[in-house]
Structure 1
């Protein structure tokens, strides 16, 4: 048992470092995309109503990064204490077996803070998607409050634990895992229902797709739910692998949230590159328009008929027509607009056809 305990703690340090590196890259990428989009929006003149540096998502992401970083630093520091400084490195097993160590309590505290921030973010997404409806978030808020209480009780019982006592004798850890799992599953299911109902009755014409956002949320929730279920199984079966799973929990929470922010930010970047220039506009032709099939349709039909052409490619491939506009009947004031979809007969030819001089 002694050799296995040291082995799983070293494995936990390795996995935590690996996951923390992944989280750091995703976090830096997501912040670059979010801040870059905000600055680009301000430069374009469409200044947002609220600064991104005051937004809930941005502040929560920064707090989560600080909590995950502090947890990883504590994990590394505990390894140095166990194998170098604690009794000159001769009692590493005794150090890891003592759950009442101050560094152990600090590490568990950062773990609980990371999970609480992650659950708060998923509740905030649910609140936004459901248009700030308070009745929808009552249940997850209650589960979050219960998680906060059980986390505090778990830390208290850990501080009072006798060294060498069975590490699987704390029932509060299982309660914490079940509560965070319930919060995430409930919030994810309601987000899926809301987005699915919207996309079922309304099809987006341009911009990002809501179903793309739905896939992102489901994938991230599946990762977190898999972690929570795996920890519950390993803890209930009294496997030492639970040490690896629980030590990597803050990094997993950070990766799940950073994945959502990064993929949403990448979608914004792609959408900005493919969007048409602001000067490109299309107007519906008044009257009858000849379609490629040889039939005629009115201007209203031409306006309502959805075009299968990507507007980001410009008006040259558009199916809408643009006519010349005559201002007050004066030909010198006639403004010629760009034509898309074919030639338009000149005004002189139309007058000759009508027999006017």
Structure 2
């Protein structure tokens, strides 16, 4: 099997980035529609974060286009100039791409931890470890970018040091995605299960759609980061392709959750299940969803029978 060369990896990586940027573009304008329509204070915060991530994604792909011009047009004036161009990681456009990727992932991880904070009833102690991991990711990421900008390929020890920093950076981001996504999904499942156990009739959990919305969205990022780490550990240039794609996926994941919630996918089946669940009491079991597109205030689940039973609430995703 032919080894993937740096120039070929860069070309494939930019193609993947272009495809994901198209997805990102559509999702961003959908977010604008959903969040502006809500007009809440939280919506404006999420809109600001989505806008910053979209701008960073645009800068990321613009830097990639610039590198294509430099690498395949201008560098071809000398023999094998294209190959040596892609070997040089200290070039300004590459540093810019890495910086935007780290920043985009940092914002995405921060939003995810914020959702964890809201849905777990603002328990600060629970969020301390995820917050520390996100901060460690940011520190390692920017140190990696700084060291890359001062890298000398002739110094083996410096190259190994940079590679170790990069490996630590993306390992921390992967830990954040897996841990926080699991905690959020577990919280939704537990509270919805408590509400549904008030009825003796067996029924499917209508909030599984909410759980899968979170898990699927976070799984896209985690899967890409895991592949990048696997190839990066093997010192394969395939990690370059995954890294370029991650610069766009890090912005796609938060927007995808907002859009899916705003389109009402997470309410599927609630009316049918809630009406049938309450028949045992001679009246309906009122299950209402005050759905916020950000899941921060959404999915406030209130289970209450006609005898004035307890309530169980899930405040946000």
- Tell me the TM-score normalized by structure 2: 0.76
Counterpart Cα distance in 2 of 1:104 and 1:98: 9
Taking a change above 3 Å as real, the CA distance of residues 303 and 242 of structure 1, as seen in their structure-2 partners, is closer
Partner of 2:93: 103
2:43 is aligned, of 31, 35, 52, to 52
Measured on the aligned residues, the alpha-carbon RMSD in Å equals 3.2
Partner of 1:305: 282
Stretch moving more, 118-127 or 249-258: 249-258
* Structure 2 unaligned blocks of 5 or more: 200-205, 272-277, 289-317
Instruction: Check if 1:214 corresponds to 2:183.
Output: no
Q: With structure 1 as the length reference, what TM-score do the two structures score?
A: 0.68
1:31 Cα deviation after fit = 2.1
Mapping for residues 1-12 of structure 1, pairs under 5 Å: 4-12=5-13
Question: What is residue 27 of structure 1 aligned with on the other side?
Answer: 28
Find the aligned partners of 1:269 and 1:160 in 2 and give their Cα distance: 48
2:182 aligns to what SS in structure 1? helix
Structure 1 counterpart of 2:221: 224
Q: Distance in 2 between matches of 1:302 and 1:67?
A: 52
Aligned length: 269
Match of residue 56 from structure 2: 67
| Rg (Cα) greater in structure | 1
The within-5 A match list for 1:1-357 is: 4-36=5-37, 38=38, 48=40, 50=41, 52-53=43-44, 55=45, 57-86=46-75, 88=77, 91-163=81-153, 169=160, 170-203=163-196, 210-267=207-264, 305-307=282-284
* Contact residue 213 and residue 266 of structure 2 kept, 8 A: no
By relative contact order (CA 8 Å, sep 6+), the higher-ranking structure is: 2
Q: Counting helix residues as a fraction of each chain, which structure ranks higher?
A: 2
Alpha-carbon distance change, 85 to 67 in structure 1, aligned in 2, over 3 angstroms: same
Q: Please state how far the C-alpha of 1:64 moved relative to its aligned partner.
A: 1.0
- Do 2:31 and 2:47's aligned partners in 1 also have CA atoms closer than 8 Å? no
**Structure 1: gaps (5+ residues):** 40-47, 275-300, 312-357
